[in-house]
Amino acid sequence: MAKLNWGIVGGGEGSQIGLAHRMCSALDDKFIFKAGAMDIDPVRGKDYGVRLGLEASRAYGSWQEMLEAESQREDRLDLVTIATPNATHFEITKAFMESGFHVLCEKPMTMTLDEAKEIVALQKSTGQICAVNYGYSGYPMVRQMRDMVEQGQLGKVRSFVAEFSHGFHADAADADNPRVRWRYDPRQAGVSAQFADCGIHALHLASFVLGQNPQKLSADFAACVDGRELEDDALLALRMDKGAVGRLWSSSIAIGRMHGLTLQVFGEKGGLRWAQEQPNQLYWNPINQSVQILERGQNGLSAASGDASRLTIGHAEGAPVAFANIYKSIAKDIEARKAGSPLGEAEVAYPTAFDGMVSMAAIDAAAKSAKHESAWTALDY
Amino acid sequence: MAKLNWGIVGGGEGSQIGLAHRMCSALDDKFIFKAGAMDIDPVRGKDYGVRLGLEASRAYGSWQEMLEAESQREDRLDLVTIATPNATHFEITKAFMESGFHVLCEKPMTMTLDEAKEIVALQKSTGQICAVNYGYSGYPMVRQMRDMVEQGQLGKVRSFVAEFSHGFHADAADADNPRVRWRYDPRQAGVSAQFADCGIHALHLASFVLGQNPQKLSADFAACVDGRELEDDALLALRMDKGAVGRLWSSSIAIGRMHGLTLQVFGEKGGLRWAQEQPNQLYWNPINQSVQILERGQNGLSAASGDASRLTIGHAEGAPVAFANIYKSIAKDIEARKAGSPLGEAEVAYPTAFDGMVSMAAIDAAAKSAKHESAWTALDY
Amino acid sequence: MAKLNWGIVGGGEGSQIGLAHRMCSALDDKFIFKAGAMDIDPVRGKDYGVRLGLEASRAYGSWQEMLEAESQREDRLDLVTIATPNATHFEITKAFMESGFHVLCEKPMTMTLDEAKEIVALQKSTGQICAVNYGYSGYPMVRQMRDMVEQGQLGKVRSFVAEFSHGFHADAADADNPRVRWRYDPRQAGVSAQFADCGIHALHLASFVLGQNPQKLSADFAACVDGRELEDDALLALRMDKGAVGRLWSSSIAIGRMHGLTLQVFGEKGGLRWAQEQPNQLYWNPINQSVQILERGQNGLSAASGDASRLTIGHAEGAPVAFANIYKSIAKDIEARKAGSPLGEAEVAYPTAFDGMVSMAAIDAAAKSAKHESAWTALDY
Amino acid sequence: MAKLNWGIVGGGEGSQIGLAHRMCSALDDKFIFKAGAMDIDPVRGKDYGVRLGLEASRAYGSWQEMLEAESQREDRLDLVTIATPNATHFEITKAFMESGFHVLCEKPMTMTLDEAKEIVALQKSTGQICAVNYGYSGYPMVRQMRDMVEQGQLGKVRSFVAEFSHGFHADAADADNPRVRWRYDPRQAGVSAQFADCGIHALHLASFVLGQNPQKLSADFAACVDGRELEDDALLALRMDKGAVGRLWSSSIAIGRMHGLTLQVFGEKGGLRWAQEQPNQLYWNPINQSVQILERGQNGLSAASGDASRLTIGHAEGAPVAFANIYKSIAKDIEARKAGSPLGEAEVAYPTAFDGMVSMAAIDAAAKSAKHESAWTALDY
């Protein structure tokens, strides 16, 4: 199969996320980097694109220019990644989708729930791919968890415990650091800081693995560092749409936690535990037996897990491979469409606009609950 | 200093808790086992006592008999441990205290908050020792945490995250097992099951380490195994009386967790992490530095931590030593009283009737909150 | 069964090992502390004994006095523990055994291999118990390993890897510290320092678990800290008498290792891994399956493991309980003898004089090999 | 800087190592895949190359064809990776170097020590880059260790302990599996199996980190699985050329070990511990202080470590990134040469032909020692 043409909006020079997308899209020989509008400054953006190897004609000065030119090419892009500042995701995603492009949008997909609903509607009406980069769902052992749940190895899932906590916003001396401050300012960040930024990854992960979406929740938001208006520490109780009970903690003041994304799932027949920081091991306890350590790459794991795994057992495989798996899953869908048989819903392994919308609904509901004495609040989607 | 005379009510043949108390009280050559009323069956109790080495005259047939006889002896007991079924703790504790004995009561101290308040009042009026066996607070590294907080190494404590979860009540097939069933039956267990049984240990640990008591809370109780009336999974948000934010999760259906009592504490200047299952290591992250692994027994730990530590660094020291430290702390107070200078409040390292009362208040508040849509509820003490 | 009378030679005031023996002998209500000759200074020794609760007549001024007096008592000691300086172990052990006492001797049993052979001969001729305190073999999960090997769960054992390393003699500035210096002085410590002191525990553990004794070895000794004559770092290759291959590393300059005693065992059908610092977990990998974490106290472990375990699963049980299991195993044998049916060889779970002799032979062979370019050297026993 | 042209010999369809090289060379936007002779079957090789995006004219049928054609191009390859079967490495590497190409050769560089010396001589006389893929040295925390040693943070290094063990050749039932069998057949694999295949990575890692090369060694080789002629378990004692003592264990029958490459380094002032399976953490114990956990990406690490790290702290970064760092380090040298200022010896961070030669000398010496009763044997290089 020929390579797929890939382009990016945003991710200019010095951007870590831009590097990550180029690195991860290239990892599997599926996508080839063909076009970009990489900087708000047209000259800088074009120059950078050319230095990265783009043809000069496809190193664009703006996303509008890129949209127009690419729309008219025979060899137009097969996938456009949106990695611009958050506030612009909605507009750019919408524009590219309306012109018939498949899109992978960085998280958050939109700034409001209404916008998110609009994207979902657009996705449904066009049938285009709209993926959202909840990249942690690309880890092989996360997919293993999902498959074990789906295949019934846990029996009915009763509950999950999800965390995403770090300690890098704990320093009060750092409170005026503009890189930190805006995140806790409702005028810039919206109704939620830590839950919207990190906690939502944990919630997506749980939803992805359980195959259940959050239905209602009770939230406690705390602003522990003096002077913050938005929460830097959040606790949520949840009920999922197929009955699972949820517990979620997310903090940015948890000194000693690095990038503490973890998920535990408890069912009638067993329990699972996974942590992003040591992603190659999955702890599985079938009820009334010993805990087993499932290793990425071992025999007997699910097909999806194996497919997402590149190196032999015991090699530390990490986040770049996980993120690359999002691209791999999208490529699989694009190639299937080109071959005339798009994936069925159950086969789609990448996070979608629907997930992006549920996230917005969860953030809204959590902020509302936190403001109203942790009252249980339904998600509106 | 001569040994202190020790006796026990309950803890008869086959009782694990009785063995633990005899083992742990003896560990330091402080207490000598002199009397007991160890069984509801007088003959069996006396016989067992004698077989354990008691003089026949002090192997009693009932606690009432023991109370009367010991009250009249010159060499009366210095400490009486109450390890009977929960519903009898209040009555027996009260009776021994009223007769001038120091008491160590198994947890829970009482069945109701009102009874707990009565014990606290009695403790205050008599000045007797009334200790309650929140034994995990005896771990050397728990005391190290407390000292680090008190000495200001963390700065103001902003939050804690406490857990006590296991998976041993997860088996639905086991639901009719009488050893399990009564715990989830409000007619036998009261208003709370898992939080009252396990979660309360985690809350005590946090209070002990922080030097703060819970003031209000929001709780979500879930009965995940079919047929249960009381919760087998609880999530609490809390506010402590000096401002710390609390998160607490306790579950008995968390398959894969064994005896998962953990505490994380986050302050302005650093974070701490400790787990009962590997109690000899304490993870300490001073802000903007690397995480350090503090080892039980290493140089530079606090005096209280050193005092609670028996073996050189690197030896696995465990729960029996921790429980023995409760006895050691009580012995220190008794000896100080005999020497005419009882410990000041700040020097008392064992959990007291006050802690027992706060626990009852927390259980009441949590059950109330859980029944009322997780509404924030103040503790009444 | 009435309690057994226990006494100790050595372990005077301030001695950690003395406290450990009193603590661990008492842990199970089997032994009662009845006599001692605890100090080289008769007055100090008697005084300390009385303060610990001994009757004045059984707080002796010397071991000779104790031997004579106890030999004539009706209620003579059932077990005598020898916890004096190393150079006196042989003489005292021999004297008590010759007078018909059962003995538990601290490690090393003797200073020379010839002496060790003499004790073994004496043990055989008298039939008395002569136990040697390789206390780590008392851990429940060590006994579990032994039982798994014996029951054939690993198939034929092919190899083991044992370590006992720490870093507490790494500080060159500490080299003149008398507490450290003597250990590396052949005039005081004999032919080996680190292997004889620590490594030998690892070798005993391997022998105990495998049910195989070392037959020949190749050793490399290194004195890494300037000025040392004896080794502070040792590496051994071994062959055991039933064919297993052995690898053993022991160091006292391994900064960052605390009390790093570990054992891995590899057989045809599976592999085991255990570490003293987290002794409640045993990692078991049946071939071509996942690694399982066996937890102390879980269902399905061996009878010996269960018998050595005191607390329910998940509680951190540590070294004091392990050492107490040595006493428990000795008590079982004494009680069986009193009941007229001494344990068979296979039922003896405590380390014996034979183990002490093999250790001396291993130390001799290793020192010889290390002096001769690591030439393979047979053990002479 | 324009991209560098990269090509590969070997690594055809279905080859994991080929995928790894394409993935890792591409990770940093430094190299662009321009040519290949990827299969022993010319048609299959060309076809695969084209499918991977090569121009048809640069998808070659053989390495000879590739060598000839590329030698004549203006835009000739900047780097050629040799990923063919082991026995061909020498010939192909030599041929490309003689024609002026920079080469990255898979490990082992040659089949004999004499060949290795020839490559080293060739490298010296031509000044071309000849890198050898000891890819584990690309991990950021390995480079951190090297920098800490070089900067004297450990003081004089006294010793190291290196391991590389797995259990995937433990199954006797698998002994006739041709994928396994050839490795233990001296007619196909040479004088050593497990040490030459895996252990040598551990030795290179130690040499790289210490900045010391092995000088002499004593080895014990064991063939634990029936029917093997070459060792599946090896133990080595070593002395390095600047005085460090070495211990190395490598096994392929260690059931339960996955890809167990670890390194511990002990110096006068501190100790380090690192494991490939959790490569983002480095345990550092400065003497007389607590163990610290250094996290990949944290502030204060060395420049080389930071340069080798792509993601923010806490993300699991793994083997693909480590291998990519070998390419990154080579690219840095190529670019420096293009700019007219090749790197100095100390700046070269990738493993070289010299390392490949030392490895061959170590394998020879170990096999010799193992055959002669573990006699100490000098490396001949």
Residue type for position A109: M
Confidence of residue A19 (pLDDT cuts 50, 70, 90): confident
Closest chain D residue to A33, measured at CA: D29
Q: Can you give the pLDDT at residue C28?
A: 81
CA atoms within 13 A on the CB side of A257: 25
CB proximity list for D297: less than 8 A, separation 6 or greater: D140, D280, D306, D309, D311, D312, D313, D314, D315, D317
Name chain C contacts of B319, Cβ cutoff 8 Å.
311, 315-318
Beta carbons of B320 and C319 less than 8 Å apart: no
Among the partner-chain residues D22, D314, D318, the one whose CB lies closest to the CB of A258 is D314
- Residue B124 and residue B110: Cα distance in Å, rounded? 17
Give the three-state DSSP class for C377. strand
Return the partners of chain B (3 or more C-beta pairs < 8 Å): A, C, D
The full DSSP string for D138-156 is GSHHHHHHHHHHHTTTT-S
Per-residue pLDDT of B268-300, as tens digits, reads 999 999 999 999 999 999 999 999 999 999 999
Name chain C contacts of B54, Cβ cutoff 8 Å.
none
Please calculate the CA angle C350-C354-C360 and round it to the nearest 5 degrees. 115
**Mean pLDDT value of segment C365-379:** 98
Establish if C237 touches chain B: CB-CB under 8 angstroms. no
Low-confidence ranges of chain B (pLDDT < 50): none
Indicate the DSSP class of residue B53. Answer: T
Q: Is the pLDDT of residue C110 over 90?
A: yes
Establish if D298 touches chain B: CB-CB under 8 angstroms. yes
Q: Which residue has the tokens 């998110």?
A: A116
Q: Which of D235, D228, D233 is nearest to D253 (CA)?
A: D233
Beta carbons of A291 and C288 less than 8 Å apart: no
Q: Can you give the pLDDT at residue D1?
A: 58
Among the partner-chain residues C159, C235, C268, the one whose CB lies closest to the CB of D233 is C159
Q: How far is CA D311 from the centre of its chain?
A: 23
- Torsion angle of alpha carbons B152, B332, B343, B99, nearest 10°? 140
Q: Output the CA–CA distances (angstroms, integers) from residue A136 to A204, A208, A275, A359, C198, in the order listed.
A: 9, 10, 11, 15, 45
Chain B nearest-CA distance from C210, in A, is: 23
Beta carbons of D27 and A27 less than 8 Å apart: yes
User: How does the average pLDDT of chain D come out, rounded?
Assistant: 95
- Residue ranges of B 111-170 with Cβ closer than 8 A to chain D: none
Share of chain A above pLDDT 90, in %: 89
- CB atoms < 10 A from the CB of B269, how many? 19
Among the partner-chain residues C225, C256, C283, the one whose CB lies closest to the CB of D271 is C256
Establish if B305 touches chain D: CB-CB under 8 angstroms. no
- Residue B67 and residue B84: Cα distance in Å, rounded? 15
Cα dihedral sign, A239-A240-A243-A248:
negative
Closest chain C residue to A298, measured at CA: C290
User: How does the average pLDDT of chain A come out, rounded?
Assistant: 95
Beta carbons of B278 and C278 less than 8 Å apart: yes
Q: Is the pLDDT of residue D366 over 80?
A: yes
Closest chain C residue to D284, measured at CA: C256
Among A342-351, B31-40, C168-177, which range has the highest average pLDDT? B31-40
Beta carbons of B295 and D291 less than 8 Å apart: yes
Q: Are D129 and D351 in contact (CB under 8 A)?
A: no
Return the partners of chain C (3 or more C-beta pairs < 8 Å): A, B, D
Q: Can you give the pLDDT at residue A3?
A: 84
Establish if A23 touches chain D: CB-CB under 8 angstroms. yes
Give the three-state DSSP class for A72. coil
**Radius of gyration of chain D from Cα atoms?**
21
Beta carbons of D268 and C170 less than 8 Å apart: yes
Beta carbons of B295 and D299 less than 8 Å apart: no
Among the partner-chain residues B28, B32, B277, the one whose CB lies closest to the CB of C53 is B32
Per-residue pLDDT of A204-242, as tens digits, reads 999 999 999 999 999 999 999 999 999 999 999 999 999
Beta carbons of A291 and C293 less than 8 Å apart: yes
Q: Which two tokens stand for residue A94?
A: 């919408």
Q: Can you give the pLDDT at residue B1?
A: 58
Element containing residue A43 per DSSP (H, E): helix A42-51
Element containing residue C140 per DSSP (H, E): helix C140-150
Residue type for position A97: M
Q: Can you give the pLDDT at residue A174?
A: 85
Among the partner-chain residues C256, C288, C375, the one whose CB lies closest to the CB of D291 is C256
Q: Is the pLDDT of residue D4 over 90?
A: yes
Closest chain B residue to A255, measured at CA: B271
Beta carbons of A374 and B245 less than 8 Å apart: no
- Residue ranges of B 275-294 with Cβ closer than 8 A to chain D: 284, 288, 290-294
Q: Is the pLDDT of residue D346 over 90?
A: no
Cα dihedral sign, A137-A138-A141-A143:
positive
Name chain C contacts of A293, Cβ cutoff 8 Å.
290-293
Q: Can you give the pLDDT at residue C1?
A: 58
Establish if C193 touches chain A: CB-CB under 8 angstroms. no
Per-residue pLDDT of D248-275, as tens digits, reads 999 999 999 999 999 999 999 999 999 9
Name chain A contacts of D52, Cβ cutoff 8 Å.
29
Closest chain B residue to C135, measured at CA: B315
Q: Which two tokens stand for residue B230?
A: 């009381």
Q: At what angle do helices B319-338 and B16-26 cross, to 10 degrees?
A: 60
Q: Can you give the pLDDT at residue A246?
A: 98
Q: Can you give the pLDDT at residue C2?
A: 75
Establish if D23 touches chain A: CB-CB under 8 angstroms. yes
Instruction: Report the predicted TM-score, pTM, of the whole model to 2 decimal places.
Output: 0.96
Name chain D contacts of C285, Cβ cutoff 8 Å.
167, 255-256
Q: Is the pLDDT of residue C66 over 90?
A: yes
**Mean pLDDT value of segment A297-317:** 92
**Mean pLDDT value of segment D148-163:** 98
CA atoms within 13 A on the CB side of D214: 35
Per-residue pLDDT of C288-345, as tens digits, reads 999 999 999 999 999 999 999 988 899 999 998 999 999 999 999 999 999 999 898 8
Q: Can you give the pLDDT at residue B313?
A: 92
Per-residue pLDDT of A66-104, as tens digits, reads 999 999 999 999 999 999 999 999 999 999 999 999 999
Establish if A337 touches chain B: CB-CB under 8 angstroms. no
Confidence of residue D334 (pLDDT cuts 50, 70, 90): very high
Confidence of residue A345 (pLDDT cuts 50, 70, 90): confident
- A with D: how many residue pairs have Cβ under 8 Å apart? 111
Closest chain D residue to B288, measured at CA: D299
Share of chain D above pLDDT 90, in %: 89
The full DSSP string for B274-342 is EETTSTTEEEEEETTS-EEEEETT-TT--HHHHHT--S-TTS---HHHHHHHHHHHHHHHHHHHHTT-P
